[in-house]
Amino acid sequence: MYKKLMIFIFVIFCVISCSKDGNKLSYDGIDYNIVNNPKDFVKNFQKNIPSAIKFKINNYKQYMIDIKSECDNQGIDITRVLSPVKVINAETKQLYSMRDIFTVISGRTINPDNEVFLINLITPEIEKDSDTPANLKNYFKYIAGLWWSHQGKDVILSPELKPGSKICDSCNAEVFYGDGYCYGYYTENNLNVSRLWCNACMEKYLDEYKKSGTCFDKDDVRRANSFSKIKN
């Protein structure tokens, strides 16, 4: 019951985190300044300010041309500006891939009149505190719970393992069903998991983080600390 309640609360948090507030767009826990033109979009990129620009999909080509023109005027390589971007539906916050956009330009699939936000994925610096290691541990345990809920407990992957068990992606130790930690994230109804860790490896990476600040990046810290706030 507690687990279901926590999933519900976190889903609500993710929905709220995708809301618009005046000239701000909140997405995945970051507030983006909504700008009205490519010039301000590029200018904010130079200032390391998270920004979003809104337009209809059928105007995508023109906006890319305008952004390139502004980059040329400022002497900036356009790949620096456009490589860390995402395109999301302005209403539903559905994430579009570049392939989706190009099929729209070709006249297929998504409604070309849909409005989208092009957002630069500049992440503001996050202050670490003494609770961050514990928050990271709790967050990755939570992600593991979501991930295990999609795994078949009765599936035997290897005769050496107990039913449902899997292997730690770091040390190859057996991780029993429902145990361990998953490195990944959950946002906008999207569960993304790249690694499963046993308890010992999770502690090892936390120790490295405490000593040198490595192993986890600022997005990991931001998500973990945000999760801690809604959990408490």
Taking the model in full, what pTM does it have? 0.54
Question: How large is the average pLDDT for residues 201-223?
Answer: 88
Alpha-helix runs per DSSP H in 75-105: 78-82, 98-105
CA distance 232 to 100: 39
Beta strands at 166-167 and 115-120: parallel, antiparallel or unpaired? unpaired
Between 198 and 56, where is the model more confident?
A: 198
Quick: pLDDT tens for 50-84. 888 888 877 888 888 898 898 888 888 877 777 66
Quick: pLDDT tens for 166-182. 899 999 999 988 899 99
Quick: pLDDT tens for 92-128. 777 776 666 656 555 455 666 677 777 776 665 555 6
Number of H helices, E strands in the chain: 8, 11
8: pLDDT strictly greater than 90: no
Q: How buried is 20 (Cβ within 10 angstroms: 0-12 exposed, 13-18 middle, 19+ buried)?
A: middle
Quick: pLDDT tens for 135-150. 999 999 999 998 888 7
Other beta carbons within 10 angstroms of residue 154's beta carbon come to: 7
